[in-house]
Amino acid sequence: MYYRKGVERLNTVISFSCPAYLALRLSDENIPPREKSRWISEAIRMKLDGINAESIQDVSTRRLMAALLSRDDVDAHLKEELLRRLNQPKN
């Protein structure tokens, strides 16, 4: 990365894979395509800076269901039901 007087000068293109539940959460945010890079960059910056953006009470039910899908201690039947509900159209 190059810097000019302390200001970031260039963006770097990166690609990565992530768990399906994160992709679902990202799509739930309805972020305009032109703003996704900035949104993801801000999330990474906050994580690196140790900033916790929200408490569990602030998380939507849909996001909680998506997060449960990634856990190893969740029953397979519950995961099936969560996946079914997450794939239903939003009300």
Q: Is residue 12 part of a domain?
A: no
pLDDT digits (tens, 9 = 90+) for 66-89: 888 888 888 999 999 998 988 887
Is 57 contained in some domain?
yes
Structure tokens at 70: 């990634």
Average pLDDT, the chain: 79
Quick check: is 25 in a domain?
A: yes
* Residues in CB range of 69: below 8 A, 6 or more apart: 20, 21, 79, 82, 83, 86
State which residues form the domain around 80: 20-86
> Model-level pTM?
0.46
Q: Look at the chain and report how many structural domains it folds into.
A: 1
Q: Is residue 13 part of a domain?
A: no
Position 5 in a domain = no
Residue 3 lies in a domain: no
Which is more confidently placed, 11 or 79? 79
> Quick check: is 31 in a domain?
yes
